[in-house]
Structure 1
Amino acid sequence: MGEDVLGGRYRLVRLIGRGGMGAVHEAVDTALERRVAVKRLLAAGGLDDGSEALHRFRREAQALARVSHPGVVQVYDSGVHEGAPYFVMELLDGVNLADLVAGQGPLPPPVAAGVALGMCRALAAAHAAGVLHRDVKPTNVSVTRAGRVVLQDFGLARLAEEPAITRAGALLGTPQYMPPELIQGQLPGSPADLYGLGACLYLMLTGTPPLGTGAVDVGALVELAVGPGVPPLAGRADTGVPDSLARLVDALCRQDPGRRPTAAEAEAVLGEAATGGEDALVALVADRVREQAVEFVYSPPVLESSGMEVLDWAAIPQSRTAAGDVQRPLTLSDGTRQLMLSSMTAASARSRQREAVNLVLRGDLQEAVRMLTAVSQVCASALGPDHPTTLTSQYWQAVCLARLGAGAEALELFSRVNAGTERKRGRDHD
């Protein structure tokens, strides 16, 4: 099987996500033997030095490198591979905020305040470094299994000393979480990012997007954003949200950026409201990670593709999230299955399996589940459901589920492995 190794160092393992201009892969840094995330620019419009796509891509890497804070994803390296630029970041475990709310519903106020506090501190650090994020939304906020809140995807970031480069009439960002002044074409300042913070806090506290779930058309969302705006949260008796948090959300989501609280003012309110939420946040993330792992093992998605991207093994299941972002489900086409099976050998499957087992032993359970599920699925078709490589992959899948707390599902999978082993043993004796 061919493998992409960028810069002679970063071996791509699987596709994490793809956007209009680029793709993010999980990769192995072969020099330091660690897992990383690699973002590559794959712009169809060309990569000449004057292209806007290339400018934005370089600016994202520069913005990340400029901010040193635990709440901002760390950038390690950058380079060019076969004419396409890339940069290397830390690989985060856990879940993003949109997935957390989709799985758990409204978060307890201390938990929501704790996540917002982490976001607020990260934004303050970015602003102090002269970086505006400009796309603060739930899918761009990760919460690790240790409860660390991390801002990522600075693809629309703007450096303080750099003029805006957006095209006239272009709408960049997500209207559900985009401040009205940005929609209206005004040059944004730090209050624009704080609006996104308030909109995310609204989602966490209510379980619904700030502009509601009724309008899905971009035009309708824009009219709501620049018109009535985010509905007031204070005074509502149906949410159970403490008055201090409700009033903070309303203040952060004000139409006039000059009337929004500063990061320091927001942090003061959030710090008090977040008391006692740390352990609860870690428990909620663990629950969501466990649910996703079980879903991945029992309903494994595989990337549909006409090219070699299929060899990235697995893709994260996608759907419409509670945050209002639409994500397409991934299915396996006949052509894709044939391409995968033609590239799979017992030796290459065992190699991937050994790599996944090492991840299990290191405690990188989410990555291990994805890799083992892909190996198990393809081996079951290419080598047979009772082949030792297939059964061994399923065994380690069960180990991952057990360590993530899914005891019943792990036991069922262990039983399946035992049954397959007995069948094979019986055939060998015949």
Structure 2
Amino acid sequence: MRRSLGPYELTHELGRGGMGVVWAAYDQAKDREVAVKLLAGGGRAGGPTTLERRFLREASLTRRLEHPGIPAVHDHGSHDGELFLVMDLVPGRTLDAVLKSDGPLPVDRAADVARGTAEVLVHAHGQGVMHRDLKPANLMITPSGELKVLDFGVAAALEPHAGETRFTAANATPGTVVYMAPEQAVGKTVPASDLYSLGCVLYELLAGTPPFTDASPFMLYHRHAHDPVPPIAERRPGLPAGLRQLVEALLEKNPQDRPASAAEVAATLATWAPAAPPAAPVRLTVPHPRLAEAAALRRSGSPARALEEYGTLLAAPELERADLLAARVGAALCVGALGRTREALDALKSVLAEQRSLLGPDEPAVLDTRYEIAVLLVRTGERHAATELLRRLVGDEERVLPEGDDRHGRARALLDRLRRMS
């Protein structure tokens, strides 16, 4: 039976979970189909419960996130005592359904899904939000093949914004034990905890089963914390050595032994993921004129002044996302020119995944960022990593950049210099 929640006409139930019930709905005010999540057990009298406070946190945190891989949140609030969240209605199949019907994925498809998930994490972690419940059931493949990461319902702020407080339910550990990092099970969640969960997901996409399964939650906690990970090569023979090593690194017990960031994971997975089709143009206006001014300052040998200019740009509320990413790249290059090489390298790795997602892999700005990362890797003495990056970049630059472009051939030239140095 249909019912209404303010302007939202609920049509049919889509699913149930620990946070509540999700309905397909029609937004009568804006003439569109949406998904409405209702708090389980809502409408009770008295003050907000633990679950209700967590639900409101989901609304606050998720509305902060703007990424193509995250369903947009349009509205949230309370209606006649019921808490609700209104989101994009995402069609498609979740990865758990795909695994159940089709079995393990081909290597390139599994790497592509994991890369897309890592790119979403780059954005979320950059906004101070952890997912805390990555699993195949929360990864949706749309009919057009896009990846959507669902349900930031148990996300917690790394650094709460003004007016927010950290919130953890007493005697409750958000997340799903089969995919949960050892430290998360004892309430010490860090960004690397999401990478551990991503490792469990990637393991399952490749092997058809997660690394640890057990009927008892306590035994699962114990196995994640203490048992060696069953070698994935035994469950999926023939995997590329680098991919096997990445899975092993993601599933390290100590968070500090895992990859340094989601951006690093996304960049590594690009080795096996298929090249994405050229992205549709996203810029409708010319770049912000102060970007060119800041870049000219940096190139003229005034990185400190340029960094101030980029800082002013980054604080401008009207800046388009493409310009925002360009300003972040410029600021990172200034930081590198000021001698803070490692800080600059981390910043560029972080922005690269977002550039790829927004602009497409063949956008010259993306190639520029990849090249600058290689240069910084050389400066930090990481010549092997720089060589591997440049090998992939050479072909992309020669394919995309015309011969008359000053950047054409720069990656090959740097690669040749590295080989001579060796």
Interval containing the TM-score (normalised by the shorter chain): 0.5 to 0.7
Question: Is contact 1:110–1:277 with CA below 8 Å preserved after alignment?
Answer: no
1:205 corresponding residue in structure 2: 206
Cα deviations by residue, 1:328-347 (Å, 9 ceiling, x for unpaired): xxxxxxxxxxxxxxxxxxxx
2:122 corresponding residue in structure 1: 124
Correspondence list, 1:379-390, <5 A: none
Structure 1 residue 4 displacement after superposition:
1.3
1:147 corresponding residue in structure 2: 145
Q: Does 1:68 align with 2:69?
A: no
Q: Gapped runs of 5+ residues in structure 1?
A: 279-430
User: SS of the residue aligned with 1:241?
Assistant: coil
Structure 1 CA distance for aligned equivalents of residues 44 and 115 of structure 2: 40
Structure 1 residue 19 displacement after superposition:
2.7
Q: 1:190 to 1:48 in 2, by over 3 A?
A: farther
2:52 corresponding residue in structure 1: 54
Question: Is contact 1:42–1:84 with CA below 8 Å preserved after alignment?
Answer: no
1:105 corresponding residue in structure 2: 103
Structure 1 residue 118 displacement after superposition:
0.6
Structure 1 residue 46 displacement after superposition:
4.0
Cα deviations by residue, 1:116-155 (Å, 9 ceiling, x for unpaired): 0110000110011111111111111111111111111111
1:223 corresponding residue in structure 2: 222
Question: Is contact 2:2–2:12 with CA below 8 Å preserved after alignment?
Answer: no
- In structure 2, give the amino acid aligned to 1:190: P
Which residue, out of 70, 78, 81, partners 2:79? Answer: 81
Correspondence list, 1:9-408, <5 A: 9-43=7-41, 46=44, 48-162=46-160, 164-186=166-188, 188-212=189-213, 215-233=214-232, 235-236=233-234, 238-261=236-259, 262-275=261-274
- Indicate the RMSD between aligned Cα atoms, in angstroms: 2.2
| Larger relative contact order, structure 1 or 2 (CA cutoff 8 Å, min sep 6) | 1
Cα deviations by residue, 1:69-128 (Å, 9 ceiling, x for unpaired): 011111011232211111100011110111111111110000000000110000110011
Cα deviations by residue, 1:257-294 (Å, 9 ceiling, x for unpaired): 0111021221111111102588xxxxxxxxxxxxxxxx
Q: Gapped runs of 5+ residues in structure 2?
A: 278-422
Question: Is contact 2:178–2:210 with CA below 8 Å preserved after alignment?
Answer: yes
Over the matched positions of the two proteins, sequence identity in percent amounts to 40
Question: Is contact 2:203–2:211 with CA below 8 Å preserved after alignment?
Answer: yes
Question: Is contact 2:128–2:158 with CA below 8 Å preserved after alignment?
Answer: yes
- In structure 1, give the amino acid aligned to 2:210: P
- In structure 2, give the amino acid aligned to 1:171: T
Q: 1:183 to 1:32 in 2, by over 3 A?
A: same
Question: Is contact 1:47–1:53 with CA below 8 Å preserved after alignment?
Answer: no
Cα deviations by residue, 1:188-236 (Å, 9 ceiling, x for unpaired): 1110111111110000001112214xx2221221221111153233x54
User: SS of the residue aligned with 2:134?
Assistant: coil
Q: 1:46 to 1:161 in 2, by over 3 A?
A: farther
